[in-house]
A and B are shown apart, each in its own frame.
Chain A
Amino acid sequence: MAMLDPNVLNPYVLLDPAVAPFLGVIITSVSVVASLLISRYFFRSYTFSGFGYLLGLPVGFAFLGASFVFEMAGVLYIANPILHPAFFWIQMSLQSEALALIALSYYYRNSSGGPGQLMGRNILVTALPLMMVTIPFIVPTAALVAEPYFNYAGLADLSFYMRIFNVAVIAYIFRTTIVSLVRAANIKLLYVPAAFALLWLEQYSLIIAYFDNSVMAFVGSAAARLAGLALFAYIMHSVSSRRKMEIEARKAT
């Protein structure tokens, strides 16, 4: 039996090498298209309204799409000792930054900063978003500066910590969307928390894959990611098309 490499960076290496690139292209294509579609819907809303808090969503989903491209590039350059870890490093930073930016949109929408608030809370309101955005950039950069060559074991461990960060950030978004759902008392709003729950499950499965190099955990994470992004894209599309139908119906009457 072949020994398991304890420092797997890109989990695609767990798959059969004959299947991995083909499967990778399909998963990446669907993920990138869904991410860019979601980004486009939010970008149109941002350009129309100019609401600053919305900007995190189009940028975040565009970053998420880009991170999947770098993940695929890592699969294609699997034998290259420089490019493979380099692409992994970029993918990891982009993905965490993307989730932090998405969380920031939810944070700023729901934070109600005012002059009557306590100083401690004001500091928290300012520091928390700053931390959320800087951690995904500072931590991987610091690791790279500390060891300028790409240390596989170091990167693998770093990816574990970054995934913990991702899980925490997605949990925050999930909680926020659930609160909105309860406040609005509209069951149709359940789809968005469900989509974020699936993205949370993706990160959680990747943590499992980090510990035991389980192919099932990786396949599960890919399925959860595809389902989450597809569900989110479907919600965005249905909201737009439903409005168009309502407007057409109103014009007809």
Chain B
Amino acid sequence: MKQEKRHKLQLFYDILCAIEEDVMHNEVAKPTHIQHFTRLSYDKMMNHFDELEGKGMIHRVSGLIAITGKGKKFIEQYDQLINLIESAGL
């Protein structure tokens, strides 16, 4: 089934949630796991990683990825936004 095109904010949200999920289960987040969760091509995912790192939402140390406080805040805000949009019947 063809997947609907995701908005950039949603892509960031999916990536950050995947990192959180991976850390919760395996204590570390690996790019291959995140790629599996987010269903993104490796190149695109690495581009998004660069962007997220530039925005201070993740940091990478020797191939492993960790989410920062700013990244967690983004997840909260995005959750809130989606809830608000859904509740408003939009």
Contact = CB atoms under 8 A, between A and B. Distances in A.
Interface residues of B, number: 15
A105 interface: yes
Contacts of A243: 76, 79-80, 83
A243 B90 CA distance: 18
B89 A192 contact: yes
Interface in A105-125: 105-106, 109
A246 B84 CA distance: 14
Interface in B8-63: 9
A193 B88 CA distance: 9
- Binding site secondary structure of chain B: helix
A175 to B, nearest CB: 10
B89 A45 contact: no
A193 B89 contact: yes
Contact of A189 (B9, B79, B86): B86
A173 B85 CA distance: 14
Contact of B87 (A176, A178, A189): A189
A240 B84 contact: yes
Contact of B88 (A178, A192, A242, A247): A192
Contacts of B64: none
Interface of A: 41-42, 45, 48-49, 53-54, 57, 105-106, 109, 176-178, 180-181, 184, 186, 188-189, 191-193, 235-236, 239-240, 242-243, 246-247
